[in-house]
Chain A
Amino acid sequence: MADPELYPADVHHEHASLAVTERPWARAALMLVAFGFLAIFLLLPLVVVFEQAFSRGIGAFVEAINEHDTIAAIKLTLLVAVISVPLNLVFGVAAAWAIAKFEFKGKAFLITLIDLPFSVSPVISGLVYVLLFGASSLLGPWLKLHGIVILFAVPGIVLATVFVTFPFVARELIPLMQEQGTGDEEAALSLGANGWQTIWHVTLPNIKWGLLYGVLLCNARAMGEFGAVSVVSGHIRGMTNTMPLHVEILYNEYNAVGAFAVASVLAGLALVTLVLKTLLELRYGAEIAATRGH
């Protein structure tokens, strides 16, 4: 930034602004390209979801949602999220604690491993569990003998979802807690707090917005995951169908209103997620890790 005493604002800035920005026509052209691109690729698909969902009126929409299999799919999606998000939340806090509060060998490698699920195709994330628990695997016969069902049932869907959403909370908390350092915890400990008191009364209040941010993104992905869940679910209507899978089934049955009705619920969820995410970023941007995205 220019020092106001060295450079009188009036002349300098007038001159600088011409040199460091585009001409009006270039600005207009760039904005037109950006808005046009976003309108075609982001806005139109979103509008189509709701337009199709209500194309036969509200009555048809309500009927499509209020169908037995749809309600079962909504319940299953909620159940899967309720199990898998807390699991990854606990992991995220534990991993971030170990990584951010201590210096140890192999830390960078550990962070890379935590990010690994992001670079694996969702289909492969499901496939690995089919290979692990399927009938032809080493574990398969043993599981069958003991009557344990993992694949094509809720445990398999939960495992695949946990795999896919594994890094979300951890990658949000690690940079945040690294930035905060260990000063607050050391102070609490030196004043006589024990470990749990320190985490509960000092660390968690420090990271709560970043934690919420990570949970929000983790939950959105958990409820929306398609590829990984599709491989392990077995697609049993009313039993192992999550909402995204139900969308696919209805769509392939040429039940467009039904498919888009369920899809619009998921799109609504996505919009709520975006609004909450933006509010968190606006209000607590400084307290949320700088590494946005995903």
Chain B
Amino acid sequence: MTTAPAKAGWRFRQPSVIPGFGLTLGFSLAYLTLIILIPLSGLVWRSASLGWTDFWAIATDRRTVKALEISFGTAFIAAAINVVFGTIVAWVLVRYRFPGRRVIDAMVDLPFALPTAVAGIALTTLYSPKGWMGALLAPLGIKVAYTPLGIVIALVFIGLPFVVRTVQPIIEEIDKEVEEAAATLGANRFQTIFLVLFPGLAPAVVTGFALAFARGVGEYGSVIFIAGNLPYISEIAPLLIVIRLEEYDYAAATAIATIMLALSFAMLLVINLIQSWTRKRYG
């Protein structure tokens, strides 16, 4: 490596004796372009060719706005619920020893592995007024199936592993000496957890929240069965895209999809900023 004198100036790639750079990068780029980039830019292009007035009319249509509100609102609530319970689950799995821990740990990934349509009909059956959970909640006057609450339940199911799997490795890495130091300096357990440990977990928790939220916003399969899909009440944005497509209203489908994409990317950007800020602050 050191035998060749370093050349000044811009260079696309560092020299290497390993072969196949051109072939593998070329193939990867071609495949990426064909499968992902061309279809996605097609969406943006079609949306741009709508013209501003048409686009604005679709974007401010009451049904569109409501559907976006419902999608983003329920995804936010579900991700918040997952942050609380997902962190507790991760804590219990890392810190405590009990029989069946491995099995429970593996079960956390169920929402990744279970097809969303299966989760959808299972949750709907469970929370319908005659279902096991539905019958339990009905006397309390709580209706879950065919209401926005049902959407939240489905999104909690879908988002849980994102939070647990992001927070878990960070809890594993916590240096016990930090806790010991806090305890030695007179902090009680509550103070140690909330003032010493949680700030360190914050970036992971924010990331888990972001992943669960992003996934929840776009989720379709598990939601449409339990939601009841009433326009203005429990109709999510991805479903509205499908409805517009079935009406051959490609313009509306395209516009809603573009808004969803733009909002998701903006959100991820903001969350990335928050994350790098928390990392600087507490990292």
Chain A residues near B176 (CB-CB < 8 A): 1, 16, 20
Nearest CB in chain A to that of B264: its residue: A119
Shortest beta-carbon distance from A14 to chain B in Å: 13
Known contacts A226-B220, A292-B165, A293-B162: A94-B18 contact under CB 8 Å? no
Task: Say how far A125's CB is from chain B's closest CB, in angstroms.
Answer: 8
Q: How far is the CA of A270 from the CA of B99 in the complex (A)?
A: 23
- B-side interface residues, number (CB < 8 Å): 98
Range for the number of chain A residues in contact with chain B: 35 or more
* Among candidates B104, B117, B133, B180, residue contacting A247 with C-beta atoms closer than 8 Å: B117
Let me know if B83 is at the binding interface, CB within 8 A: no
| Least CB distance, A263 to chain B, in whole angstroms | 4
Q: Which residue of B lies closest to A259 (CB)?
A: B121
- Picked from B13, B96, B131, B133, the residue with its CB within 8 Å of the CB of A102 is B13
Tell me whether A45 and B264 are in contact (CB under 8 A): no
Check if B189 is an interface residue, CB within 8 A of chain A: yes
Stretch from A36-44, A58-66, A206-214 that touches the partner: A36-44
Q: B125 touching A48 by the CB < 8 A rule?
A: yes
Instruction: Kindly provide the distance from the CB of B114 to the nearest chain A CB, expressed in whole angstroms.
Output: 4
Assembled-state Cα–Cα distance A97/B107 (Å): 32
Tell me which of A49, A105, A162 contacts B118 (CB under 8 A).
Answer: A49
Residue in B93, B180, B221 with the greatest tally of chain A CB atoms within 10 Å = B221
Q: How far is the CA of A185 from the CA of B21 in the complex (A)?
A: 13
Q: Which single residue of chain A is at the shortest CB-CB distance from B122?
A: A45
CB distance from A27 to the nearest CB of B (A): 6
B189 engages A227 (CB within 8 Å): no
Indicate if the CB atoms of A266 and B32 lie closer than 8 Å: no
- Whether a CB of chain B sits under 8 angstroms from the CB of A123 is yes
Cβ of A34 and Cβ of B92 under 8 Å apart? Answer: yes
* CB neighbours of B189 from chain A (8 A): 19, 21-23, 26
Complex CA–CA separation, A101 to B245 (angstroms): 44
Q: Known A-B contacts: A16-B183, A278-B102. Give 6 more (CB < 8 A).
A: A98-B28, A101-B16, A101-B18, A227-B221, A270-B113, A294-B112
**Could you show 15 A-B contacts with beta carbons less than 8 Å apart?**
A1-B176, A33-B88, A42-B160, A44-B132, A45-B157, A91-B31, A98-B20, A105-B12, A120-B261, A189-B17, A194-B19, A230-B221, A248-B225, A256-B125, A292-B169
